[in-house]
Amino acid sequence: MSDNGSNDKPKRRVRYKGTHPRAFKEKYKEQSPDKYTADVSKILQQGKTPAGTHRPICVNEILEFLNPLPGQTGMDATLGYGGHALELLKRISPGGKLYATDADPIEMPKTVERLKLAGYGEDILIAHRMNFAAIDRIVAEAGPLDFVLADLGVSSMQIDNPERGFTFKYEGPLDLRLNPKSGISAAEFLKRVKPAELEEVLIEYSDEPFAGVIADAITSAVKSKGKIETTTGLRDIITAALTNEFHEDAANEIKKSCQRTFQAIRIAVNREFDVLEEFLEKIPDALKPGGRVAILTFHSGEDRRVKKSFQFFQRVGIFSEYSKEPIRPSAEECFSNPRAKPAKMRWAIKAEE
């Protein structure tokens, strides 16, 4: 009983339902890997990513190319869960500095605190909550950089949490914003967009073969309902529109179209390609002579833009080398972490003066 005489009972934590709880909030063991190492180890052995965490991709390949050394100054442009950052911090210690950016106001403070507890405080990790397109602001503070890393994939923490609105597996608000405090949600975007514009988004941002059918179905639903409020609501509209388009393996093909549609809308809502192109334009001025940049992409639109940018800067003599072919995750990594399968890493080196 408390001092004021109340008999309030302490709150009980959410029950961990069986070995495979379905709801995100119930998976508290997965979200606390330091406390439940045995449980998390079993999940990893199954080739799955524990809920609320993220497994960094191509770590060895990135470190081999960037070759971070003690005392160097670098940038992790997409901090995320901090997996890449942790490995970079280990290698630039002592005396180095890692500048990190991320637009996500929910996950970034958690990651900074996690890295601080691992021994990397503000003396070596300088984190800014901002879009990586403003890399010139980092350079104004840090000076030219020895290396830059950008992982363009959406973090598993964002995908797994239905409240963020990134997944169509479970019901959640149709949001899809990397920063839910900025810009308009996916629901609002779909309320405003015209059929032809949405079709173009689906083609340009995800190569969706049924772009016209899906765009018509979504805009018709918005016209009759006023707004699509939930992720499962959008999924159901896509499913209904495509049910008669397939004769075999309909469920799998519709799932792929749902994935592509959500991807395209996410890119549009966050202006991801505009931001990427601005970032790519600024990279040469951000690097020291001999400085290195590595970028992980996860679909053709991103990879195409990175490749063309690196090609151009090599052609005009600003980059001395760039990767003619992308580096892919190993078969072993793809087996243990299926989310790594679509990843491609491209790199470039700034010419010496």
Is-contact 127 77, C-beta < 8 A? no
Tell whether 46 and 63 lie within a shared domain: no
pLDDT at 1 over 50: no
133-162 pLDDT, tens digit each: 999 999 999 999 999 999 997 776 667 777
Higher pLDDT, 120 or 38: 120
Q: How many CA atoms lie within 13 A of 111 on its CB side?
A: 29
Task: Spell out a b/e string for 265-287, using b for 16 or more CB atoms within 10 Å of the CB, else e.
Answer: bbbbbbebbebbebbbebbbebb
Tell whether 242 and 287 lie within a shared domain: no
Which CATH number does the domain housing residue 328 bear? 3.40.50.150
Q: Of 236, 270, 304, at which residue does a domain stop? A: 270
Q: Which of 265, 337, 350 minimizes the C-alpha distance to 57?
A: 337
Predicted local distance difference test score (pLDDT) of residue 248: 64
Q: Of 270, 297, 324, at which residue does a domain stop? A: 270
* Angle at alpha carbon of residue 218, lines to 341 and 250, rounded to 5°: 50
Instruction: Provide the number of structural domains found in the chain.
Output: 3
The first and second tokens of residue 18, run together, are 């069986």
Tell whether 186 and 44 lie within a shared domain: no
Q: Of 51, 68, 93, at which residue does a domain stop? A: 51
Q: Which pLDDT band holds residue 54 (cuts at 50, 70, 90)?
A: low
Predicted local distance difference test score (pLDDT) of residue 55: 84
Tell whether 263 and 164 lie within a shared domain: yes
Predicted local distance difference test score (pLDDT) of residue 3: 46
Cα 66 to Cα 148: distance, rounded to the nearest angstrom = 8
Higher pLDDT, 246 or 73: 73
Give the predicted TM-score (pTM) of the model: 0.82
Domain span holding position 42: 1-51
Predicted local distance difference test score (pLDDT) of residue 226: 87
70-122 pLDDT, tens digit each: 999 999 999 988 999 999 999 999 999 999 999 888 889 999 999 999 999 99
pLDDT at 165 over 70: yes
**Which residues are 151's β-sheet partners?**
296
pLDDT at 25 over 80: no
Mean pLDDT score of the chain: 87
Is-contact 221 174, C-beta < 8 A? no
Contacts of 104 (CB under 8 A, 6+ apart): 129, 155, 158, 178, 179
Tell whether 244 and 307 lie within a shared domain: no
pLDDT at 220 over 80: yes
Cα 243 to Cα 304: distance, rounded to the nearest angstrom = 32
Please report the beta strands in 19-96, taking only residues with DSSP state E, as ranges in sequence order.
73-76
Predicted local distance difference test score (pLDDT) of residue 336: 87
